């Protein structure tokens, strides 16, 4: 698909996502907000409600990408490299909202996986951390939005899996809920460290740190944060913070 058509397709895709996100919480679709539905499936991996404010930052960043593709002289390269994948990600995001609002959890997980792998492919096509961007506009308006987006969808995919397991009655056996949550967090930490090491992407890592802080904050005032989870959050989060700061300093 040619660059002019891609610009219109991308703009339409983001508009679709923004409208459905608004309706999901304003109406709300099927009688529950997105956050209320999340609270119906309590588990130790779900972060505090304020953590989800990152969606506002993500959508602002994606809006920046849409503006960039219309006004930046160098936008044709990144946009054509992405191709129709951004539109596919928008359709996946929008359909996930509908599946989630109607509590179709297996379907919502399949759609979330589609969204994750689509964003991962975009990330690879933009060569984030492997090729220097053409300038600040490409760095902050074409690349940073997808580092941010992929980072949060990594967290959201893990949360979606955990929610489905809760729905089918799995409580972490034989590890127990706390050890299971600690294991899941440890896996997320390893992913963050790998991305930091191989792609030098501190933005992606910062999103994981934000999610870990939200997990800690949700339970720290209730005196029910298991020691093993606290240890993994502290050590893993600390490693990610140190690694991200070192990358920023470079």
Does the structure show a pLDDT above 70 at 116? yes
What distance in Å separates the CA atoms of residue 21 and residue 150, rounded to the nearest whole number?
A: 18
The mean per-residue pLDDT over the stretch 105-115 comes to 98
Does the structure show a pLDDT above 70 at 32? yes
Quick check: 124 and 146 in contact, CB under 8 A?
no
pLDDT attached to residue 203: 97
pLDDT attached to residue 198: 95
pLDDT attached to residue 224: 63
The mean per-residue pLDDT over the stretch 240-249 comes to 90
What distance in Å separates the CA atoms of residue 185 and residue 63, rounded to the nearest whole number?
A: 30
The mean per-residue pLDDT over the stretch 192-221 comes to 93
The mean per-residue pLDDT over the stretch 22-44 comes to 92
The mean per-residue pLDDT over the stretch 139-160 comes to 98
pLDDT attached to residue 228: 82
Does the structure show a pLDDT above 70 at 42? yes
pLDDT attached to residue 50: 94
| 2 φ/ψ angles, rounded to the nearest 5 degrees | -80, 160
Does the structure show a pLDDT above 90 at 56? yes
pLDDT attached to residue 229: 85
What distance in Å separates the CA atoms of residue 42 and residue 107, rounded to the nearest whole number?
A: 19
Q: Which residue range(s) make up the domain with 42?
A: 3-249
| pLDDT bracket for residue 215 (50, 70, 90) | very high
Angle at 204 between CA 227 and CA 17, to 5 degrees: 110
In terms of Cβ atoms closer than 10 Å to its own Cβ (0-12, 13-18, 19+), residue 224 is exposed
Quick check: 169 and 175 in contact, CB under 8 A?
no
Element housing 5 (H / E): helix 3-26
DSSP string, 221-245: TTT---HHHHHHHHHHHHHHHHHHH
pLDDT attached to residue 180: 87
Domain total of the chain:
1
> What are 151-205's pLDDT values in tens digits?
999 999 999 999 999 899 887 778 888 888 899 999 999 999 999 999 999 999 9
- Can you say how many angstroms the Cα of residue 175 is from the centroid of all Cα atoms in its chain? 27
* 227: CB partners within 8 A, 6+ apart: none
pLDDT attached to residue 164: 95
């Amino acid at each position: 698909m040619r660059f002019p058509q891609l610009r219109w397709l991308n703009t339409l895709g983001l508009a679709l996502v923004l409208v459905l996100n608004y309706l999901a919480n304003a109406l709300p679709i099927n009688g529950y907000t997105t956050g209320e539905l999340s609270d119906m499936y309590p588990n130790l991996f779900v972060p505090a409600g304020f953590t989800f404010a990152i969606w506002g930052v993500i959508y602002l960043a994606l809006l920046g990408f849409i503006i960039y593709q219309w006004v930046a002289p160098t936008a044709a390269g990144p946009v054509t490299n992405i191709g129709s994948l951004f539109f596919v990600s928008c359709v996946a995001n929008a359909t996930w909202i509908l599946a989630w609002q109607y509590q179709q959890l297996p379907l919502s997980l399949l759609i979330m996986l589609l969204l994750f792998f689509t964003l991962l492919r975009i990330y690879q096509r933009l060569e984030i951390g492997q090729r220097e961007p053409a300038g600040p506009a490409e760095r902050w308006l074409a690349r940073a939005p997808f580092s941010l987006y992929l980072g949060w969808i990594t967290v959201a995919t893990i949360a979606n899996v955990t929610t489905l397991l809760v729905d089918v009655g799995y409580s972490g056996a034989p590890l127990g809920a706390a050890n299971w949550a600690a294991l899941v967090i440890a896996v997320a930490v390893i992913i963050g460290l790998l991305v930091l090491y191989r792609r030098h992407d501190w933005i992606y890592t910062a999103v994981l740190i934000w999610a870990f802080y939200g997990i800690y904050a949700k339970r720290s005032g209730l005196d029910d944060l298991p020691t093993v989870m606290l240890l993994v959050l502290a050590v893993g989060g600390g490693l990610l913070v140190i690694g991200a700061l070192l990358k920023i300093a470079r």
